[in-house]
Structure 1
Amino acid sequence: MSFELIRNYRSGGTNGSLRYGSEKICHTIELPWKDNQPFFSCIPEGRYLLEKRITHERGFHLILKSVPGRSWILIHPANDARTELEGCIAPVSELTGIGKGINSRDALEKLLEIFEEAQEKQNHIYITIKEKSAINILERVKKPTPKLFRKLRTIGLVLAAAGGAILGAPITLPAGLITVAGYLTVGASVLTAVSQVTVDNEVKIPPLPEVKNKGDASPR
């Protein structure tokens, strides 16, 4: 079992959700993706070895090993990716915007507790980073459908029923009407299917004040 970071990319920053197995640990914030440029970009997606370390400046935190083209990529406290990160990952308890969150130190403490529990069960611990759109189709179907697409799904079901009723009518109908009914049924089926697998990717931003931690600038 490994940690999993699911990212949601935006031009102003990268928000994410950090999990261990089926347990959601916290949110994350990072810099936007800028072709892996040191100091300006989040790191590439992939699977990385995760280790715990301690320094006088940061105390206990985590480090990702063997990141392509980067060094000293840490998971450490920060509440604003733009001003406090240079490529690292910051856990936050709640998101307040794109690349922004609050209560980062509390989130890190929770993460470290789970990491220590994982260490008791396995020698090497990894984190897999991937984009939210990479969620498989079964996971999408299980997720809530946005309000607009719920309405479209309902319309699709109604149209499909109407087309089916015309095609199954016990009386002879004009050929043109039969053709229209066929197109109607196919189109309605596509509309329903697309609506069903559409999920809401927007970040829910709570009306909370932004709190910044001092002295949490990332080294890389």
Structure 2
Amino acid sequence: MDFELKRTYKPSGTNGALWYDGSLICHTIELPWKENQRNISCIPEGRYLLEKRITHERGFHLMLKNVPGRSWILIHPANDAMKELQGCIGSVMKLSGTGKGIHSRKAMHKLLEAFEEVQKENELVYLTIKKQSNMNIIKRAQQPTPKFFKKLRTAGLILAAIGGAILSAPISLPAGVITAAGYLTVGASVLSAVSQVTVEQEETPPQEEMNHNSHASP
């Protein structure tokens, strides 16, 4: 099983999330995609061999091997892609903007720990880079709703039923009660709708198979 880097491309930078076996390891920052031009573009999507290395300047970090048209592509701590990167991948714990993030050294430490655990069971460790897929209606219907939002959805349905019962009551009720029931029904509908579109996307990222030597550009 590979590490997976799922990217979101924007004109001013590239943000990503780095996963292994369904668990989020850290986030990433990179330069924007500019046709794989040296020093100003992130690297192409594809499957790359990962190697651990150490230098006096950066300490322990990871290197991607056999990147088409590029060399010395590393994963290392960085907080601002435009200022600190020339094609490498910066590790961050939290994104703070496009191509920007914080707690980069903590993220690198966490990634190295995960790499070492995977390396114990695999002679070779790979990173697959791909675009984060957008979820359509069918995929959304197939995704699980988080437990908390399931409870909110249930509460919304109950409140909507109460509001509807008050509004349709066969007896005359005070105007204030009718108004409150109307607000209750609307609020319950919004609550149910928000709960329905919330998914556990980070906990269950989509898995896609890629060929060993594929290097498709975004």
TM-score band, normalised by the shorter chain? 0.5 to 0.7
Q: Is the alpha carbon distance of 1:84 and 1:139 closer, same or farther for their aligned partners in structure 2, counting shifts above 3 Å?
A: farther
Secondary structure at the counterpart of residue 40 of structure 2 = coil
For residues 65 and 88 of structure 2, what CA distance do their matches in structure 1 show?
12
Counterpart of 1:87, as a letter, is G
For residues 135 and 122 of structure 2, what CA distance do their matches in structure 1 show?
26
Match of 2:5 in 1: 5
Residue 4 of structure 1 deviates from its aligned partner by 0.1
Counterpart of 2:129, as a letter, is I
Residue 128 of structure 1 deviates from its aligned partner by 0.3
Unmatched segments (≥5 aa) in structure 2: 146-195, 202-218
Counterpart of 1:47, as a letter, is R
- After superposition, the C-alpha distances for 1:1-22 in whole angstroms (9 at most, x for unaligned) are 1100000000000000000111
User: What do you get for the CA RMSD once the two structures are aligned?
Assistant: 2.5
For residues 125 and 96 of structure 2, what CA distance do their matches in structure 1 show?
30
TM-score (norm 2): 0.64
8 Å CA contact retained: 1:93, 1:106 = yes
For residues 87 and 100 of structure 1, what CA distance do their matches in structure 2 show?
14
Match of 1:161 in 2: none
Aligned residue pairs: how many? 150
Match of 2:121 in 1: 121
Residue 136 of structure 1 deviates from its aligned partner by 8.9
Match of 2:26 in 1: 26
Output aligned runs, 1:82-161, within 5 Å: 82-133=82-133, 140-142=140-142
2:51 aligned with 1:54, yes or no? no
8 Å CA contact retained: 1:63, 1:72 = yes
Counterpart of 2:122, as a letter, is Q
Secondary structure at the counterpart of residue 77 of structure 2 = coil
8 Å CA contact retained: 1:137, 1:197 = no
Secondary structure at the counterpart of residue 133 of structure 2 = helix
Return structure 1 stretches of 4+ with deviation > 3 angstroms: 134-145, 196-199
Unmatched segments (≥5 aa) in structure 1: 146-195, 202-220
Residue 141 of structure 1 deviates from its aligned partner by 4.0
Match of 2:81 in 1: 81
Instruction: Give me the identity figure in percent.
Output: 67
Q: Is the alpha carbon distance of 1:22 and 1:31 closer, same or farther for their aligned partners in structure 2, counting shifts above 3 Å?
A: same
For residues 57 and 134 of structure 1, what CA distance do their matches in structure 2 show?
38
Output aligned runs, 1:39-50, within 5 Å: 39-50=39-50
